């Protein structure tokens, strides 16, 4: 059993992989100042006990929130006697990187690219609809050649509410129409359809720059919400966790 942990800006996802697939998933809301190792330990061990999960024999962590990583590393070491593999561009990934500023590349984007390259074996654009919406282009030869980052749906909605006097927060959902009939419908239309338009524009621009065709993979917490409004070839909500599994295997040989 592998313990796969993805620490994101909005949520922390822990998946348990039995060698064939991810069997159980624990999701926690990311807290800005983090939890203590004891709190993470209590939550994680309780989840394992309730679901009768075998003790992990290996672990890998991707994180875009550095201040939280040490607490979870400590828990994995203390509770399971494992030193987790920390994802970065410095470990084996099976990818070639043709980008600048490697240190600035998010671990989740590396994991997504690894999984996409291993699972689909063709030129790919991975779009991760999370706190930020990120685009990562992977060539047929496994080159991560670049991408784009834009504010995500939830971030856009929260920023709108926080920086205006009369616009409320909204629960993100499929808009009923483009011409909203009240303030909530107006906001949903602008955010969802507007985001879809921006995503489609970026897809077209990336196609013109790569001078070739590629398939689009959607992942992340808002992939299901956005996929009906853009051209998507695959929806894989577990792409990041699958990438962590492949990375673990590459670095365990």
Q: What is the pLDDT along the chain (253 residues), one digit of tens a residue?
A: 999 999 999 999 999 999 889 989 999 999 877 899 999 999 999 999 999 999 999 999 999 999 999 999 999 999 999 999 999 999 999 999 988 888 889 999 999 999 999 999 899 999 999 999 999 999 999 999 999 999 999 999 999 999 999 999 999 999 999 999 999 999 999 999 999 999 999 999 999 999 878 999 999 999 999 999 999 999 999 999 999 999 999 998 7
- pLDDT at position 34 is 81
Backbone angles phi, psi at 115, to 5 degrees: -65, -45
Query: Largest alpha-carbon pair distance within the chain?
Result: 59
**Catalytic (active site) residue 233:** no
- pLDDT at position 103 is 80
Q: Are residues 123 and 79 in the same domain?
A: no
Q: Which residues contact 32 (CB under 8 A, 6 or more apart)?
A: none
Residue 244: both structure tokens together:
């962590």
Q: Are residues 126 and 239 in the same domain?
A: yes
In eight-state DSSP terms, residue 34 is -
User: Is residue 25 in some structural domain?
Assistant: yes
CATH of the domain at 36: 3.30.420.40
Q: Are residues 232 and 172 in the same domain?
A: yes
User: Is residue 69 in some structural domain?
Assistant: yes
- pLDDT at position 104 is 84
User: Is residue 91 in some structural domain?
Assistant: no
**Statement: the pTM of the whole predicted model exceeds 0.75:** yes
- pLDDT at position 211 is 86
- pLDDT at position 220 is 95
From the candidates 6, 18, 33, 108, which is the catalytic residue? 108
Q: Are residues 193 and 166 in the same domain?
A: yes
User: Is residue 188 in some structural domain?
Assistant: yes
- pLDDT at position 33 is 76
* Distance, C-alpha 136 to centroid of its chain: 11
User: Is residue 53 in some structural domain?
Assistant: yes
CB burial string 86-110: b at 16+ within 10 A, e below: ebeeeeebebebeeeeeeebbbbbb
Q: Which residues contact 222 (CB under 8 A, 6 or more apart)?
A: 129, 130, 152, 153, 154, 172
Q: Are residues 129 and 237 in the same domain?
A: yes
* Distance, C-alpha 232 to centroid of its chain: 17
Q: Are residues 81 and 161 in the same domain?
A: no
Q: Are residues 47 and 9 in the same domain?
A: yes
Please name the residue that has the structure tokens 């834009």. Answer: 150
- pLDDT at position 99 is 87
Neighbours of 186 (CB within 10 A): 16
Count of structural domains within the chain: 2
- pLDDT at position 213 is 86
User: Is residue 250 in some structural domain?
Assistant: no
Q: Residue 111 belongs to what domain range?
A: 96-244
Distances (CA, A) of 178 to 63, 150, 169, 187, 203: 37, 22, 18, 10, 22
Q: Are residues 177 and 116 in the same domain?
A: yes
């Amino acid at each position: 059993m592998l313990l796969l942990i993805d620490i994101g800006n909005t949520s922390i996802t822990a998946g348990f992989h039995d060698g064939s697939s991810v069997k159980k998933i624990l999701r926690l809301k990311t807290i800005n100042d983090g939890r203590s190792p004891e709190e993470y330990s209590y939550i994680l061990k309780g989840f394992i006990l309730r679901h009768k999960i075998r003790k992990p024999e290996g672990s890998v962590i991707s994180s875009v929130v550095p201040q939280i990583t040490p607490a979870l590393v400590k828990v994995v070491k203390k509770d399971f006697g494992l030193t987790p593999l920390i994802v970065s561009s410095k470990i084996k990934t099976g990818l070639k990187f043709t980008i600048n500023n490697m240190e600035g590349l998010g671990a989740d984007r590396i994991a997504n690219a690894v999984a996409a390259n291993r699972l689909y074996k063709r030129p790919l654009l991975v779009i991760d609809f999370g706190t930020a919406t990120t685009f990562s282009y992977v060539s047929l030869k496994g080159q991560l050649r670049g991408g784009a980052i834009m504010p995500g749906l939830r971030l856009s909605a929260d920023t709108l509410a926080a920086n205006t006097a009369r616009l409320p927060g909204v629960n993100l959902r499929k808009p009923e129409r483009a011409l909203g009939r009240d303030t909530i419908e107006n906001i949903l239309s602008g955010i969802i359809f507007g985001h879809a338009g921006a995503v489609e524009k970026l897809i077209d621009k990336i196609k013109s720059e790569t001078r070739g065709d590629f398939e689009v993979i959607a992942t992340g917490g808002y992939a299901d919400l956005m996929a009906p409004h853009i051209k998507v070839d695959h929806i894989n909500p577990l792409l990041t966790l699958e990438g962590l599994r492949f990375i673990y295997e590459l670095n365990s040989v």
